[in-house]
Structure formats: structure tokens, C-alpha cells
Copies of this chain bind each other. A is one copy, B any other.
Amino acid sequence: MKIKKQLFCLLFILTSTFLSAQDLKTPTLSHLIPGGSNYLAVENLYSISWWGDFYIIPSHEQLNIHQASTGEKNLIITKDSLNSNLPEEDHTSSMYRVSLPWAKEKKLLIKNSDTYIIYDWENRKLVRKINFPKSSENIDFHTTSRNVAYTIKNNLYVNDKRITVEPEGVVCGKSVHQQEFGINKGTFWSPKGNLLAYYKMDERMVTTYPQVDVTTRISTVNNVHYPMAGMKSHKVYVGIYNVTSDQFIYLNTGDPTDRYFTNISWSPDEKYLYLIELNRAQNAAKLCQYDAHTGNLVKVLVEESHSKYVEPQNPISFLPWDSSLFIYQSEKSGFNHLYLYNTNGELIRQLTTGDWLVQELIGYNTKRKEIIYRSTEISPLESHIYSVNGKGERKLLNEEEGVHNALLSESGDFFIDYYSNPASPRSIECVSLTKKEKHTLLKAKNPLDGYLEPTIEVDTLLAADNKTPLYYRMVKPANFDPNKKYPVVIYVYGGPHAQMITKSWQWGTRGWDIYMANKGYIVFTLDNRGSDNRGLNFENCTHRQLGVLETEDQIKGIEWLTQQSFIDSSRIGVHGWSYGGHMTLSLLLRHPDLVKVGVAGGPVVDWSYYEIMYGERYMDSPQSNPEGYAKTNMKNFADNLKGKLLIIHGGIDGICVPQHTYSFLNACINAGTYPDLFIYPNHEHNVIGKDRVHLHEKITRYFENNL
């Protein structure tokens, strides 16, 4: 991979220059940690949406409509006015609950706790009311057909009707496969909204993990189906319910044992349903076309395989101007790119190409026959918005450096450009595709203005392979003195699909990093091999030995640190959560002479306790890769614990189940080593809300007392 040389020497000083250090307040954890009672959040405009080519900015009290070209604002309606024309039971509590999904119609959609209300804001009257029970979840409303799908417990309902009658342990209409493969929901309306594709998952054969709720009068257990690596997996089926005929079918996929059905999408004419199917080994994927009427397989359009794994994460997407063509995303070139296929499964053209990757297919401009997407073309640290036409000619649509996200208007002629960079905490602009006009909706100021801030440096160093450049970020105390020796806290994640360092606000620095730098620590983070936005080979070199190369890379970072004159090499600590918890253990236990203190949160200890879909993708199964599981099992290193280690776990963590930590404690007890422990009994995989401040105070004290 080639990285543009000019990006290598990035340096940005964040220190507020208008105030001398004495005048600055020191931010507390409560200022810096989300959930803190006086958290200094970056200003934002929430829930911006499009109504045709007008954009809407809601507030609690009113909805304003803006001309996309000029930003000119007009009030549509206030909450008081809206509620005064509605029966009291239908009153909305906030205009954030109101949307305008019909571009051509002057109608509002209000989502209350058990109703959708369609309101004509021109004629000021309630048009229609769609009820769903208060106990329902996964509510999926189709704005054209006005059908609503939802689940109650484990069954699927449409409008007032129960569609599935499945016993406990069979779940319908919900997300499947542990939310892997980009799956985040379980219902998929056809374009016109009369057909509903849905997942059914039989998990009765999957072992349950007992999660204990200590807040009841006497502790109670929730037995949650958790398919662990190498064990029996659930079976998934794809159903299609026809609202008009009140019939449903299931796709004739054959035996669903050890198969993944992912990335559901509809053909524009609603005749076909497309899936990407994978085998359990996740080394072969097939884009399959099913007849939505009979449920039969029509054909396999695209097949992909890889000696390590393939990971489809994006459903195919049909061109609005030609329903015989669709975009298929693939990493087969080594980087995720857009490919144009026809419905015969013939590749028309690779639309994007290069040693960079497409991060998101955003939408289309039908008039100009352009596809809008987000990519890392400029730098792996940045995301920019581009268009590409059918010939593969692409155009950069935004200007400022940094990390951009876009919300496209109905026509695709405009988009809301959300971005941040080290100079701007958050900018929101409305940009025209054609004339490159733009105007600003928000330019957030630094929420830490007036507070003591560290300096942040970003640069690269070479990975343990001595050739791959890796980005690091160093957060230094504001009053940094190069003649002093500083202790270091390494904050690490290290796993796939995450990148700690981007050219966004503060280079992605977290509030706690700032807090610790203000306390006199250097906070260091390195995006090792295996992390995101650097392409497939960069990611999959960790295959079958998660954490091993990543640890070697982090050690390169530590070696680099120890070569710096201002680092106290005897005082290096590490903190990370989840995959970063594993990395913390790995660093402390594999290199006890380099790392003095670790705080591992919700760690993976033993990959055989992790779920099948994520775990076997990267590690294969415990049966087929016993050496890999052994050499990444932190219990096998329990006797290496020399430094101080605090393990923190959410008491009801459903992602890294508490067994990881408890089995590690047992290993340490047997080995005669002495980790420390804390449990947040009511928390799942992350400690969130106000308790997140407590968590970070706990972590801070551990470093203060031991590093």
C-alpha cells in the first residue's frame, strides 16, 4: 500500500492560544466523558432530513424548512399549532418525532409511542392514524403503502395481524447472525411496500449463556442464546409476507445449517429478492436471486471466495435509471470498490479502483446518472464525498480536509455535508452537486474553549513487518517540557472495523485521553495492522491468530516511545476495552518487562468464548485451529502477570460474556498471580450513561496509584 508522503508529517497544536495557561480551567471527567452531568458536547443539529430538495431542521418546538440552494428558512409548523389540531391522545411531545417522508406532499408523519399519525399541514387535519401496540419493537413503517411491521416478543406482526406463530426460541422479524455482515434489522419492505421480507431464526439448538440480573428482589437469570465458536449455530430462514393476499412463503434455500443469509435487497419490480449467502467457514459467498413469488432460487449472479474470509457487508443496489443494473461492493481487489453488474450476473464495469476504499454508497443523482459515495481516496485518515458516473469518471464533491458524511436530497442535487477536521469540531453545510454552491448550517466552536487542552501529534511509524506504515497519535500535556520524563498510557483497540486515528476533530482523541494528558501523562495510540480503512491485506494478516501481530505492532510503538528522550520507559501503562481489553492483556502478559500497568475492560480472554460469526471469520473454529486458539488464549499467559492488572467487566455483558474474565481469574488463581477486578453489575458490553464517569475515575485512580 502506498501512502501519500505529504501526509506523513502531520502536526497540529490544539492549545487555546487566546488565554494563558493560568486562566484556563481544567476540565473534569464530568466535562469530558459522555454521560457526565456537565459534559462539554460539540454543538450539533439533530435529525436533519430532506423533503424533496428542501431540508428540514427540527427543534423540540417547531419544524423549519430550508431552500437547499440558499438556506432560506420558512416555518412549517410549531408543536403547539400541530397539537391544537390533534386529539389530545395524539399530541406529540417533540417535533423531533415528526418527519416529512413524502417529498411531493404537504404531509407530516408523527411517530408517537403506539401510533403513526399522518397529518396534512396545509389543510391542518389528521389524515390517517396507524396503531401498533406499546409493547412492540422493531417497528418498520413503509411510507408508500403505509403498512407497518413490528415484533412482539419473538413473533412478527403486520398492521393488526400476527404473521408468525413460532414457539420460544424461534425469533421472527429481528436481526440475525449476531448483527454481523452488516445486518442490523429483520424486516425488509419491497419498494412499493406490499411485500415484506423477514428473517426467521431458530436458535433452540444454540446453548444459552446465563446473564444474571442482580437488581430484582432476588437475582434472576436471563438465559440468552449465544452461539460460541465451534459450537452449534442457529438456523436462519427468509420469509416473504404478502400483505394483500395475506400469504407467506419461505425461500427454498435448502438446509440452513451452518449457512449465513445476508444483505437482503429487493429488485425494483419486486419480483426478486437478492441475498448474499455464505458458508460457515466464511470463505465463499454467493449473490443469489430468488423468485419472490415461489421462493425458488433463480440464479447465482456473483461468487467470491478467499483463502481467509470474505465479508459481504453491503446489499446490492439498483441504479434508479436502469433497473437491469446494480452496484455490488467487493474487496476482491484488496480494497472495497463499487462494481456495476447487470441482472444476468455479468460484470459491466469496475466503477472505482485504486489502493483506497469505498466506505459507503450514499445514493444517486438520477438526472446526472451519478452514483454518490464516500471513500478514503485522499487519505486513510479522511473520508470524502465523491460522485462517479457509469464510465467510472469520478469527482470530489466536498472541499475541506477531514472526515465527511453526507445526507443526499431526494433528487441527489444537494447533500448535507457533515464534517470535522482538526480545525473544526463539527461543520454542517448544504452543498449543491452541480454548481458547487454551499452554505453553512452549523460551524461548532471548540467546546473546550477556555479549558486546558493538550497538544496532539499524528505521524507514522513502521509496523513489525518493517514496511507497513502505521498511524500513531500522541497526546502531550499542554505544558510539555521535552527535558522531563513522562509516563505513558497507551490507549488501544486494535481489532478489525475500527480506526482510532482519523483526521477528524482532535484526530479522534477521546475525552479521557485529554483528561490523562492534562494530568501529566502522554497518551499514545497506534492503529496496528488489522484495523480499519487500510484494505484487506492490512486487515486479514491477523487471520487465525488474532492479537499476535497486533501486539507486535503495538510493541513497535512502545519501542518508538522508549527511544524518545521525554518518555519514562519504566512507566508505561495500557488501557483498552473489548478487543482493546484483549490487547491490554496481551501486551501486559506477553511483554511483562515493557508494560507496568494495564486496565483491560470487557476483554476477550479466549476466542472460543466469542460468538461464531465474528469469531470464526477471523479465527476459524477451535476444532480446525487449536494452535491459534491456544496461542491467543490469555489464560495460557496467566502466570506471566508481573505488573498490575485491573480487569473491568459489565456484569451482563452479552458481547464478551463475563466468562472471559471469570475464567481468567481462575487461571490466575491457579497460577498464583494477582490481577485486580471490578464489575459494573448492571452494564452490558460498555459502561454507558452517567456510570461512564465512575468508570473513568476508577481507571484513572488505578493508573495514578500504580503507574
The stretch of A59-67, A290-298, A344-352, A662-670 in contact with B is A662-670
Give the secondary structure class of A's interface.
Answer: mixed
Residues of B within 8 Å of A663, CB to CB, are 214-215, 681
Convert A644-660 into 0s and 1s, putting 1 for each residue whose CB lies closer than 8 angstroms to a CB of B: 00000001000001110
Q: Evaluate contact between A677 and B678: CB separation under 8 angstroms.
A: yes
Residues of B within 8 Å of A698, CB to CB, are 674
A681 to B701, CA, bound (A): 25
Chain A, 309-332, CB within 8 A of any chain B CB: none
Most B CB atoms within 10 A — which of A209, A669, A674? A669
Residues of B within 8 Å of A221, CB to CB, are 210, 212, 221, 223
A144 to B38, CA, bound (A): 79
A17 in the interface (beta carbon within 8 A): no
A160 in the interface (beta carbon within 8 A): no
Convert A194-232 into 0s and 1s, putting 1 for each residue whose CB lies closer than 8 angstroms to a CB of B: 000000000000011110101101111101001010010
Q: Evaluate contact between B218 and A226: CB separation under 8 angstroms.
A: yes
Residues of B within 8 Å of A231, CB to CB, are 217-218
With contact pairs A214-B663, A663-B214, A694-B672 given, residues A219 and B657 touching in the complex (Cβ less than 8 Å): yes
Q: Which residue of B lies closest to A687 (CB)?
A: B669
A437 in the interface (beta carbon within 8 A): no
A219 to B226, CA, bound (A): 11
Chain A, 213-260, CB within 8 A of any chain B CB: 214-215, 217-221, 223, 226, 228, 231
With contact pairs A666-B682, A678-B676, A682-B666 given, residues A219 and B659 touching in the complex (Cβ less than 8 Å): yes
A680 in the interface (beta carbon within 8 A): yes
Q: Which residue of B lies closest to A608 (CB)?
A: B217
Q: Evaluate contact between A209 and B218: CB separation under 8 angstroms.
A: yes
Chain A, 381-439, CB within 8 A of any chain B CB: none
A691 in the interface (beta carbon within 8 A): yes
With contact pairs A672-B694, A676-B676 given, residues A214 and B666 touching in the complex (Cβ less than 8 Å): yes
With contact pairs A672-B694, A678-B677 given, residues A210 and B217 touching in the complex (Cβ less than 8 Å): no
A702 to chain B, nearest CB (A): 9
A697 in the interface (beta carbon within 8 A): yes
A679 in the interface (beta carbon within 8 A): yes
Residues of B within 8 Å of A223, CB to CB, are 221
A209 to B221, CA, bound (A): 8
Residues of B within 8 Å of A666, CB to CB, are 214-215, 681-682
Q: Which residue of B lies closest to A693 (CB)?
A: B672
Convert A14-40 into 0s and 1s, putting 1 for each residue whose CB lies closer than 8 angstroms to a CB of B: 000000000000000000000000000
Q: Evaluate contact between A659 and B210: CB separation under 8 angstroms.
A: no
Q: Which residue of B lies closest to A221 (CB)?
A: B210
Q: Which residue of B lies closest to A210 (CB)?
A: B221
Chain A, 163-211, CB within 8 A of any chain B CB: 207-210
Chain A, 425-463, CB within 8 A of any chain B CB: none
Q: Evaluate contact between B214 and A659: CB separation under 8 angstroms.
A: yes
A3 to chain B, nearest CB (A): 43
Residues of B within 8 Å of A669, CB to CB, are 680, 691, 694
Q: Which residue of B lies closest to A683 (CB)?
A: B669
Q: Evaluate contact between B219 and A209: CB separation under 8 angstroms.
A: yes
A679 to chain B, nearest CB (A): 6
Residues of B within 8 Å of A218, CB to CB, are 207-209, 226, 228, 231, 609, 657, 659
Residues of B within 8 Å of A657, CB to CB, are 218-219
Residues of B within 8 Å of A680, CB to CB, are 665, 669
A228 to B216, CA, bound (A): 12
A220 to B224, CA, bound (A): 11
A667 to chain B, nearest CB (A): 10
Residues of B within 8 Å of A228, CB to CB, are 217-218
- B609, B651, B676, B691: which contacts A662 (Cβ < 8 A)? B651
A443 to B379, CA, bound (A): 83
Most B CB atoms within 10 A — which of A208, A666, A680, A691? A666
Q: Evaluate contact between A679 and B681: CB separation under 8 angstroms.
A: no
Residues of B within 8 Å of A210, CB to CB, are 210, 212, 219-221
Residues of B within 8 Å of A220, CB to CB, are 210
Residues of B within 8 Å of A212, CB to CB, are 210, 212, 221
A212 to B219, CA, bound (A): 11
Q: Evaluate contact between B665 and A679: CB separation under 8 angstroms.
A: yes
A674 to chain B, nearest CB (A): 6
Residues of B within 8 Å of A694, CB to CB, are 669, 672, 674
Residues of B within 8 Å of A682, CB to CB, are 666
Q: Which residue of B lies closest to A222 (CB)?
A: B210
Residues of B within 8 Å of A676, CB to CB, are 676-678
A694 to B641, CA, bound (A): 14
Q: Which residue of B lies closest to A228 (CB)?
A: B218
Known: A215-B666, A669-B680; 19 extra A-B contacts, CB below 8 A, are A207-B217, A207-B218, A209-B218, A209-B219, A210-B210, A210-B220, A210-B221, A214-B658, A214-B659, A214-B666, A218-B226, A219-B657, A219-B659, A221-B221, A221-B223, A662-B679, A662-B681, A672-B694, A672-B697
A interface list, Cβ under 8 A from B: 207-210, 212, 214-215, 217-221, 223, 226, 228, 231, 609, 651, 657-659, 662-663, 665-666, 669, 672, 674, 676-682, 691, 694, 697-698, 701
Q: Closest 4 interchain pairs by CB? A: A210-B221, A662-B681, A214-B662, A219-B659
Name 19 A/B residue pairs within 8 A (Cβ), A-sorted: A207-B217, A207-B218, A209-B218, A212-B212, A214-B658, A214-B659, A214-B662, A214-B666, A218-B231, A218-B657, A219-B658, A221-B223, A662-B679, A665-B681, A672-B697, A674-B698, A674-B701, A677-B677, A677-B678
